[in-house]
Amino acid sequence: MFSDVIDRVLSKQVEYSEDLRVLEDYIKEFLEINTRVPHLSPFEVHKGKRIRSILYFMNWKNPDSVSSEIKYKTIALIELIHFASILHDDVIDNNMTRRNASSFLSKYGYKNSIVFGDVLFINVIDGFLKLHNSNTLVKNFCLKACTSTAYGALLERHLTISSSFQECLKTSILKTSSLFELSCFLGEYLSSTDFQKAKISAIGGLCFGILFQFHNDVNDYSTTNFEESEDFMQKNITMPLLLLRDFFNFDLSKFNSTNQQTYDEIKKLMHTPEFRAYAFNILSKYQRRATSLLDS
């Protein structure tokens, strides 16, 4: 669901292939200089889609607005903030795989993942503040996004089957959308210094993040074997689950039964045309804003 919006962004990978290549050099350089940890193959090899970076480059208007160092270091640091949050997420959820490969946790253990995540996060924030030392607005936006991401992760742990959809949506906005919002804002603002346009871009990024999270949540109920569904096995309360409760009056207490039958029931309902239409209607305003970001 909402794959059309996400696929449109991912299709830009070819267009920004050179920017993404340069970005990887900056990420690698930062890790080598600041972390003093020689074994980072899980991140270097399995680096993900770099979708935040693509959104950043999509919003970049003037190629000569700032130095290349500021342009690429800025988004490299945002990607590393995301990576640091993933390290902690995997510890919380006991994820031994990440992107169909061994996670950092599975290779280096719980203590190393927690400590390295902390060290990386602190170093990245320090690097960002130094890079934009003279721009209070940019520094404040970064700190706000980092705070939101951490607070969203905390709120996520307290979602229950009785939580409202709006509570879950707020959590998603804080935890997932904040860095999409930041990427779009900085791509526009650093290249144009137009604050009003940057705010519009930021809203588009926030809305994209909501759709991105919802898409991932639905896809987690697309596997054949219930044990392959991370959200189901971890009993994560997600937006699609709460919509199932509200639309089909689905008894979420069944969610506590970790078996194939319960998983198949949830999966079947979640992929019905009726549910898809209901969910699209609920999230349509975010879909429109995200699409306008792509069409601008």
CA 223 to chain centre: 21
Q: What CATH number does residue 46 fall under? A: 1.10.600.10
Q: What are phi and psi of 15, to 5 degrees?
A: -60, -35
User: In sequence order, what DSSP letters do the residues of 230-266 get, joined into one string?
Assistant: HHHHHT---HHHHHHHHHH---GGGGG--SHHHHHHH
pLDDT at residue 89, as a whole number: 81
Residue 199 CB partners (closer than 8 Å, separation 6+): 185
Structural domain boundaries enclosing 59: 3-295
pLDDT tens-digit series, residues 56-106: 999 998 888 899 999 999 999 999 999 888 888 888 777 777 666 677 788
| Residue with tokens 């074997």, as numbered in its chain | 225
User: In sequence order, what DSSP letters do the residues of 78-141 get, joined into one string?
Assistant: HHHHHHHHHHHHHHHHT--EETTEE-HHHHHHHHHHHHHHHHHHHHHHHHHHHHTTT-HHHHHH
Task: Provide the 8-state DSSP code for 11.
Answer: G
Task: Provide the 8-state DSSP code for 175.
Answer: I
pLDDT tens-digit series, residues 121-140: 999 999 999 999 999 999 99
pLDDT at residue 45, as a whole number: 45
Find out whether 104 and 87 touch, Cβ atoms under 8 Å.
Answer: yes
Q: How many domains does the chain have?
A: 1
Residue closest to 217 by CA, chosen among 154, 281, 283 = 283
CA dihedral sign, ordered 178, 184, 187, 191: negative
Residues of the chain with pLDDT under 70: 35-46, 98-101
How far is Cα 296 from Cα 292, in angstroms, rounded to an integer?
A: 6
Find out whether 110 and 56 touch, Cβ atoms under 8 Å.
Answer: no
